[in-house]
Amino acid sequence: MSSRIPLVPENAAPLPSLKENNGLLAWVASVDHKQIGIMYLIITLVYFLLGGLEALLIRIQLAHPGNDFLTPEMYNQLFTMHGTTMIFFVVMPFLIGVGVYLLPLMIGARDMAFPRLNALSFWLFFFGGILLYYSFFTQSGAPDVGWFAYSPLSEKPFSLNKGPTYWALGLLASGIGSVASGLNNVVTILTMRTPGMTMRRIPLFVWMIFVTSLLLIFVIPIITAAFAMMLLDSLLGATFFTPAHGGSAILWQHFFWGFGHPEVYILILPAFGIISEVIPVFSRKPIYGYEFVAASTVAIGLLSLGVWAHHMFAVGLGNVANAYFSLASMLIAIPTGVKVLNWVATMWGGRINFATPMLFGTAFIIEFVIGGLTGVAIASVPIDWVVTDSYFIVAHFHYAIFGGSVFAIFAGVYYWFPKFTGRMLSETLGKWHFWLTVIGFNMTFFVQHFLGVMGMPRRTYTYHDMPYWGSMNLLSTIGALILGLSAIVFVWNILVSLRNGKPAGDNPWNAWTLEWATTSPPAVENFELVPPVRGRRPLWDLAHPDQPDEPGAKIV
């Protein structure tokens, strides 16, 4: 038996690690994927609180009609920074960070294929964020042109201040970091797998990170090129996106959404991956239809590249273009629906343990399906024409990105925190966090569907006292405050549990993937011995050698 356990080959030179050097310098100089992953998670938590604070200020301003809590200029800066922060500095880097932490552990490797490049990616993300937020301290203030910076609004003479320039430079830096992580992830997954870990056996989370990384590699350069053009416009007087000088504002929209739509899937696919790990473990069943979950990810990745103009139905691209983009967008609902059915089928007949990760996992399915259904609705051109740039859209993408990605992120944090730190998060505080989040989230965003259908436009700092608008907005703001409270409970839980949490042991959830085979937190080089991999659930196979679940084996 023991002779069949493969040893991981020795590294030529040991990498710097916290175990040998203590203090801040050990973190700054670290090239260990676990430390880099933790740094991503800490920084994204900070940005999560910042972005959340911005959202609260926005909601307080909108609490009743004609409010003057914020100036219009400040309001514009806040919604721009809220969107930019949440997308580029919270959800995306969190998923990259958790991927960087878990990939090598899940595939039985000692580190990423390129540890130093991994550190470079992190620092590019870090300084990109600093550059973006530095704009708040400049005379002209933060960017104020929306997270998609539509030209000509973001161009001279509409934006004479430097906000959009900081925006483009900050995102350019972090975007290059994301491409580098994408490259690193893909090569790591393709070349660093332990013997026996075939592509048909890698955990679904790894599959999702793989497809996401390919998307990063192929779609970030689209926006990098667009940022370069935007910067040339604002700094050297080029005329790419200024219609007054022969440029094209629509070209910016094509470039932006050529990146921006696949970006939506960069934000949601790793979240699907987290859910695909959590649901089987807490249902005590293998995932139903592994191949379908993996293949539908590839299908979503490919389809996402061809649907960008559904963000541009109101531009007037013509009926042929609108019809194509409408149909192609609706097609994405098919592979996505396949995934939802697989998760539900996995839960079906399982012995479900509603610990906090599973609570968030289950709520994810419900909230994300609501966001998905409104997504199919607005993929239809006439409906989009009615609700575009209204609060209906705000409600839709918050159900997709908060109800989807962020709920999955919470599930992932509660699931893997024991592995990261060696301690459990408090279940009591976790349940408080969960219920406050569910109540606050739905209270904030569900009413916004109705506000949108009733015509309330987004991105305006105040509104007239139309029937019901005041009361519905107040309800939404109260929901946002409850969400804010839930974030405090979440952070409190992390701080308390780091000190006094219950010791976790190696595998507190009795899970099956390789990261649970090592100590919590893992040793410097991850594994002493990598268990043999003969199927998709190596730790199950180890514990039940008589009941292997090779494809075709009956569900246990």
Partner 1 sequence: MANNRMIVGFFIASESVFFLMLILAYVNFHNSVTDGPTAVNSLNPVVTGIFSLFLFASSFTIWLAGKSLRENNHLMLKVWILATIILGAVFIFGQGLEWSGLIEKNITISRNVFGTTFFTLTGFHGFHVCVGLIMLSLLLGLALAGDFKGPKSDAVECVSLYWHFVDGVWVVVFSVIYLWAFL
Question: CA angle, corner 217, sides to 212 and 220, nearest 5?
Answer: 95
Taking CB under 8 A as the rule, does residue 145 contact partner 1?
Answer: no
How far, in Å, CA of 91 to CA of 409, rounded?
Answer: 8
Q: What are phi and psi of 110, to 5 degrees?
A: -80, -30
What burial class does residue 429 get, using C-beta atoms within 10 Å of its C-beta: 0-12 exposed, 13-18 middle, 19+ buried? middle
* Residue ranges with strand state E in 253-353: none
Q: Binder to partner 1 among 55, 202, 220, 307 (CB under 8 A)?
A: 220
Whole-number minimum distance, CB 183 to partner 1, in Å?
A: 5
224 binds partner 1 (CB under 8 A): yes
One of 221, 337, 521, 532 touching partner 1 (CB under 8 A): 221
- CA neighbours closer than 13 Å in the CB half-sphere of residue 242: 17
Is residue 47 a contact point for partner 1 (CB under 8 A)? no
Nearer to partner 1, 187 or 331 (CB): 187
Spell out the residues 6+ positions from residue 76 whose beta carbon is closer than 8 angstroms to its own: 144, 145, 459, 461
Residue 237 within binding range of partner 1, rule CB under 8 A: yes
Tell me the closest approach of the beta carbon of residue 51 to partner 1, in angstroms: 28
Q: Which of 38, 172, 197, 229 binds partner 1 (CB under 8 A)?
A: 229
Which is nearer to partner 1, 122 or 490 (by Cβ)? 122
The helix (H) or strand (E) run that includes residue 538 is helix 538-543
| d(C-alpha 343, C-alpha 412), whole Å | 16
List the one residue out of 138, 55, 136, 137 whose CA is nearest residue 90.
55
Contacts (Cβ under 8 Å, ≥6 apart) of 321:
309
> Any idea which residue has 């620092």 for tokens?
123
DSSP 416-464: HHHHHHSBPPPHHHHHHHHHHHHHHHHHHHHHHHHHHHTTPBSS-S---
Residue 16 Cβ vs partner 1, minimum distance, rounded to whole Å = 20
Alpha-carbon distance values, 509 to 241, 294, 415, 426, 480 (Å): 53, 24, 8, 14, 32
Q: Shortest gap between Cβ of 140 and partner 1 (angstroms)?
A: 22
Find the binder of partner 1 among 238, 338, 345, 498 (CB under 8 A): 238
Please report whether residue 191 would count as binding partner 1 according to CB under 8 A: yes
Closest by CA to 215, choosing from 272, 169, 149, 288, is 272
Single out the residue of 147, 167, 207, 240 in contact with partner 1 (rule: CB under 8 A). 240
302 binds partner 1 (CB under 8 A): no
Binding of residue 255 to partner 1 (CB under 8 A): yes
Is there binding between residue 184 and partner 1 (CB under 8 A)?
yes
CB of 8 to partner 1, least distance (A): 16
Can you tell me which of 42, 130, 160, 190 binds partner 1, judged by CB under 8 A?
Answer: 190
Does 247 contact partner 1 by CB under 8 A? yes
69 binds partner 1 (CB under 8 A): no
Spatial CA neighbour of 378 closest among 452, 271, 268, 267: 452
Q: How far is the CB of 378 from partner 1 (least distance, A)?
A: 27
For the CB of residue 198, give the shortest distance to partner 1 in the complex, in Å: 17
| CA distances for 35 relative to 27, 40, 355, 375, angstroms | 7, 9, 27, 37
Least distance CB 381 / partner 1 (angstroms): 24
Nearer to partner 1, 255 or 392 (CB): 255
Q: What are 376's two structure tokens?
A: 């199919």
Q: Does 226 bind partner 1 (CB under 8 A)?
A: yes
Contacts of 127 (CB under 8 A, 6+ apart): 173
Contact flag: residue 327 with partner 1 (CB under 8 A): no
Instruction: Please identify, using beta-carbon distances, which residue of 219 and 438 lies nearer to partner 1.
Output: 219
Should residue 72 be labelled a site residue for partner 1 when binding is judged by CB under 8 A? no
Number of residues that bind partner 1 (CB under 8 A): 34
Q: Is 406 in the site for partner 1 (CB under 8 A)?
A: no
Question: Does the protein bind partner 1 through residue 228 (CB under 8 A)?
Answer: yes
Q: How far is residue 83's CA from residue 86's CA, in Å, rounded to a whole number?
A: 5
Stretch that binds partner 1, among 237-245, 312-320, 349-357, 405-413 (CB under 8 A): 237-245
Identify whether the C-beta of residue 459 lies closer than 8 Å to the C-beta of residue 146.
yes
Structure tokens given for 269: 């696919």
- Of 145-153, 215-223, 466-474, 517-525, the segment contacting partner 1 by CB under 8 A is 215-223
- 248 contributes a contact to partner 1 by CB under 8 A: yes
Strand partners, 526: 523
Which helix (DSSP H) or strand (DSSP E) does residue 324 occupy? helix 319-331
Contact between 174 and partner 1 (CB under 8 A)? Answer: no
Q: Does residue 96 bind partner 1 (CB under 8 A)? A: no
Query: Please, what is the minimum distance in Å from the beta carbon of residue 268 to partner 1?
Result: 21
Please report whether residue 116 would count as binding partner 1 according to CB under 8 A: no
Which residue of 109, 113, 173, 425 would you call a contact of partner 1, by CB under 8 A? 113
| Cis-peptide into 152, omega within 30 deg | yes
In whole angstroms, how close is the CB of 252 to partner 1 at the nearest point? Answer: 10
Binding interface with partner 1 (CB under 8 A): 113-114, 179, 182-184, 186-187, 190-191, 217-222, 224-226, 228-229, 232, 236-240, 245-248, 251, 255, 258
